[in-house]
Structure 1
């Protein structure tokens, strides 16, 4: 497909340079013999360049295969100003910084300096490594080995970024011991301050032309003014959000208040260690720390209430606990314990730099208990997350509209928001409304892939409804038949963890009884990266995953040719944040179902379906085990949100299509 490389008469120098870069004989083609110009990519790059020149916002949805990363990097690097690029995860940050950015920079031959900036929890803290080496009580021999591995690596690393360490599990108990938090960082009082990896990363970012951050870091800084992004923002000319569909939820997490019992227990441990090391006998440290410890555990018990065994995270409405005397007493007790810690720390504040920092933490805990003891602020919602080890009290805004409007009202700069999935209509209202971008330019650029030829979608009409008890079993049985016909190479995506366990277990039993058994991999049985490695290594396998597998997974080629979705991914109506958003919409006289539930389901469905076709030659089958998609009126909206796949009417047709795909050797 050829692109249109003719600039408009009013286009500036940047647009002309961008169009030339994407031309058949342009810089990208000269740097990459396999380069193919694509009209959608050129169109996207041109509109982003126009937004950068005019210093205005643009919201652009780019279908799978458009090449949106290069479409925003080329104008970003050819422009004259500084650029901040934010993406959804740390792994995407690494990919952008280590692979895509250097490739485009070298192709364009522009002398720009690049920097990568993550949150402090991603960097080794030399001071805490020294403390861990001397005093850490490690839980097992694996932790001892991990600490030894980190010590050896620390001698050679320049960045201190823990992502450099191959095989380091993100869940390792050693990581909190060798990284700092906002609470325990000693700042300029730290004996390792001059060689601090966090400070070096921030200095590099302030000196760079292009800085890569992530959405969580961006909003953490708006809330705390602590990560270095606040210093960067006034100096950049363009801010680009890739994977922007995750922006709103990332922002909501950081723009509220959180009081976690785990946070209190961390404080208690640090308080006791510092007190006994630097000021033994000068305050009743064991008594003060013990009071905070008991108060945290009492609050967790009061938050859990009748819940005994909690496996995942259970989200409770604030009203379910807040009115109970034991909950109020636990909250009050934690406030009193925190204030007692403040008084003890005041007496030793001059002895060591640890103590003023600990006093700040105790004061903050006392303030937060006071916040949650009072009524929630207007326009905010509260809930309680209860997990196996801790409870979190959360107060959150309903969206990021006010925060983003405040940013956009500052010094003029370009704001670019792009993703493969930003809504179901031309105005992309699913994204623009909660982000305060109602007046921004919107652009939808379709995928260049031939879905009509290469993909099919099957929705069984005669099937148990999702609220019927037989639905998970029917999903497992259908998935087993489809997987057997294809010989593996299948994802089963569920909307809940409960369905995940049910479907995963039954699917395992069904496929193990096959003449040639098919391996069943279930989320939660191993780290996500390990499950993906197993899936790719063994073609005769099916992976059953929930929320974290609906997006960000890229399996091109014949390794994945069937995606089964258990039911339409509507938001859970009893979620406190969902309830508050529904209440606001109804208060405005709008239909919560049409204006919230259906758009949310459409975007999530597009994300799940997007796992299927990743390259121009991919072929596959999407199966949605929810008859509402073809029997209810709103189903037409949801089907229209999907790529234009060919429709199959019967299971026999679906099996025939899979048999055709199975003929291609893996």
Structure 2
């Protein structure tokens, strides 16, 4: 016997149902309907559903339709702001219109996404703007600020996400003045939060969700208890996103930013009342001394921190530098306290000083149980303490959060974060009752990739979801006819110095044959640069009319790279090759014939010397399990599936996947990794590879 919601959902997904009015060329897909029915059942009865929905299933509509038709209040969380914008700006409006539903939708992002009117005003008078072009960019931002309703920086065309201006015109939790701000009433963050609290469907992102779980600052403490349905899309990123927020971080860059803000406020509002230069120079010197104690290291090095100091660092010198930094923050707090009544800037700076002192004191103590500590080394230092996963937080503070609303102290929130019971906007937080009875809330976690075995243990275990209902829905694509996989046999081993050069040569050969249309995914930034340079050299021999353009991640903003690649060979230009790492392994969508060859340089095993990876592996070994079979291999399988998933995005796409790592065919574990990939046909040798490329070109 089915429920009323399931009947509505089945009708909506029928060939001539409501969904056919929202989606062009809609046709009924059994996998999409199967997932939608499972979501409907979970909404009806409450509980937790985990769904792996292969590429092409149409999982977005599979959760949106039942969520909308349920009439319940819904929270949707995604991993990226890009998908957030797509859900809010495209998918939701289409469905709301198609079904004629009277629902209010809202988009809520983190502070860094919104223009801060107060800090924009301060930036106008900042004599130390980072670069010459900043004045022109600032003028454009000021012009846009007069017309925008949302203040969402994503609306501003041409603003580079790497612009040094962005930190100057956005707020952070540390420097926001809350209700004391002179621009509190028209504040864009405040407006977005109010709209979210009044909406039926709210679209957020995982970073925002976990930031709130850590400090209860973004309004989620008020929003979540009133919601009946929570959906996490791109859920495969949940664990790694969550651990970033559930531990502690302290950066020497934070100390320098604090000193800069303290000096600016001091000289503007209370010149001569406190020796600001002394406080600032003491703080800056302490931060720089802590960096100097570490000395020269490889850029991007992560130093294990198992004892009183990071590895290779003298414990006495390290502890002394930490003590000096702590003293500097405490002295700053004392100085700011004496002028706190003059301006709200000083109240907030005083809170920042106290929080920085508290965090510094934490790092002077031993590491928390079931956590790992390390130091990230760059121009500045970042001291990091992280839990190994989010399982405990999910079980105690998320899945039961409706029953514990209002019990923030028991949920492990620091009392100092919200000591007066007011939220970050100076208001008394609402403590609404749960929208459902206990256990009635529906939780849905979904992604195209959640593991490489039937129980999806790779995802459910670190997220504390072992008791969830698990559903795997296969992709509707005919991979055997649409795609082929090639693993070159006569190839240097992955650790061979010539490996990246050979990858570049193989990719260049394919791209020359196809006129671009090639994505090269690397596992390291060093390989990224080597392959990019080598491919450009290879193409020097080609006529400029047919020479593919080589785009390399980091040389242009990500959005510009993606747009240029998708343009392909339009406007009379040759096609493109994109050489990318990290963030391009997932979330990059280039359907159609602009992408027909994906080249992966190596199997994406987690780096064994990463402190978090190392600690997770050690925990598994201590439990009598294999860290390779239970951690490294599943991690590689999921990343490989994500990378391979860039190739076929539609039922009409075709292409070749080349994985330049002989371990895939030489080692026993290669069979498990190959089995995790879509069932593409195999190309056995170079002749087959060339023939497949020629067929694509023709």
Q: Give the deviation of 1:173 after TM superposition.
A: 1.6
| Counterpart-to-counterpart distance in 1, 2:155 and 2:342 | 37
Match of 2:393 among 388, 403, 411: 403
Instruction: Name the structure 2 match of 1:643.
Output: 678
Q: Does residue 500 of the first structure (1) align with residue 528 of the second (2)? A: yes
Aligned length: 649
Instruction: Name the structure 1 match of 2:664.
Output: 629
What CA deviation, in whole Å up to 9, does each residue of 1:616-666 have, x standing for no partner? Answer: 010000001111111111111100100010011001101101100001xxx
Q: Does residue 295 of the first structure (1) align with residue 281 of the second (2)? A: no
Structure 2: unaligned runs, 5 residues or longer:
403-438, 570-574
Q: Give the deviation of 1:32 after TM superposition.
A: 4.2
How high is the TM-score relative to the length of structure 2? 0.91
Q: Conserved in 1, the CA contact under 8 Å of 2:80 and 2:205?
A: yes
Structure 1: unaligned runs, 5 residues or longer:
1-8
| Counterpart-to-counterpart distance in 1, 2:23 and 2:479 | 26
Q: Conserved in 1, the CA contact under 8 Å of 2:161 and 2:557?
A: no
| Counterpart-to-counterpart distance in 1, 2:172 and 2:24 | 46
Instruction: Name the structure 1 match of 2:15.
Output: 24
How high is the TM-score relative to the length of structure 1? 0.95
Q: Conserved in 1, the CA contact under 8 Å of 2:517 and 2:593?
A: yes
Instruction: Name the structure 1 match of 2:540.
Output: 512
What CA deviation, in whole Å up to 9, does each residue of 1:206-264 have, x standing for no partner? Answer: 11000000000000000010011121111100110011111111001011100011111
Match of 1:200 among 191, 201, 211: 191
Instruction: Name the structure 2 match of 1:575.
Output: 610
Q: Conserved in 1, the CA contact under 8 Å of 2:568 and 2:594?
A: no
Seen in structure 2, the aligned counterparts of structure 1 residues 371 and 122 have a Cα distance that, compared at 3 Å, is: same
Q: Give the deviation of 1:141 after TM superposition.
A: 3.2
Match of 2:179 among 183, 188, 209: 188
| Counterpart-to-counterpart distance in 1, 2:162 and 2:626 | 42
| Counterpart-to-counterpart distance in 1, 2:293 and 2:241 | 28
Q: Conserved in 1, the CA contact under 8 Å of 2:130 and 2:165?
A: no
| Counterpart-to-counterpart distance in 2, 1:78 and 1:534 | 39
Seen in structure 2, the aligned counterparts of structure 1 residues 438 and 136 have a Cα distance that, compared at 3 Å, is: farther
Match of 2:554 among 518, 524, 528: 524
The 5 Å alignment of 1:94-493 reads: 94-303=85-294, 305-307=295-297, 310=299, 313-318=300-305, 319-321=310-312, 323-388=314-379, 390-406=380-396, 407-411=398-402, 412=439, 413-493=441-521
Seen in structure 2, the aligned counterparts of structure 1 residues 102 and 405 have a Cα distance that, compared at 3 Å, is: same
What CA deviation, in whole Å up to 9, does each residue of 1:519-546 have, x standing for no partner? Answer: 2211111111222233233433211111
| Counterpart-to-counterpart distance in 2, 1:430 and 1:338 | 42
Q: Conserved in 2, the CA contact under 8 Å of 1:321 and 1:327?
A: no
Q: Give the deviation of 1:302 after TM superposition.
A: 2.5
What CA deviation, in whole Å up to 9, does each residue of 1:263-294 have, x standing for no partner? Answer: 11111011111111111111110010111111
What CA deviation, in whole Å up to 9, does each residue of 1:104-161 have, x standing for no partner? Answer: 1111111110001111111111111111223352233321111111111111111111
Q: Give the deviation of 1:330 after TM superposition.
A: 1.9
| Superposition CA RMSD, Å | 1.3
What CA deviation, in whole Å up to 9, does each residue of 1:306-353 have, x standing for no partner? Answer: 227x3xx33222232555433222211111111111111121122211
Q: Does residue 541 of the first structure (1) align with residue 532 of the second (2)? A: no
Instruction: Name the structure 1 match of 2:62.
Output: 71
What CA deviation, in whole Å up to 9, does each residue of 1:7-26 have, x standing for no partner? Answer: xx1x2111111111111121
What CA deviation, in whole Å up to 9, does each residue of 1:471-511 have, x standing for no partner? Answer: 11221222222222222211111101111111221121112
Q: Which runs of 4+ in 1 moved over 6 A?
A: none
What secondary structure sits across from 1:431 in the alignment?
helix
What CA deviation, in whole Å up to 9, does each residue of 1:158-192 have, x standing for no partner? Answer: 11111111111111122111111111111111111
Instruction: Name the structure 2 match of 1:6.
Output: none
Match of 2:73 among 71, 82, 88: 82
| Counterpart-to-counterpart distance in 2, 1:131 and 1:62 | 47
Instruction: Name the structure 2 match of 1:596.
Output: 631
| Counterpart-to-counterpart distance in 2, 1:24 and 1:572 | 48
| Counterpart-to-counterpart distance in 2, 1:257 and 1:653 | 52
Q: Conserved in 2, the CA contact under 8 Å of 1:113 and 1:208?
A: yes
Instruction: Name the structure 2 match of 1:4.
Output: none
Match of 1:34 among 22, 25, 43: 25
| Counterpart-to-counterpart distance in 1, 2:265 and 2:22 | 57
| 641-650 or 343-352, which deviates more | 343-352
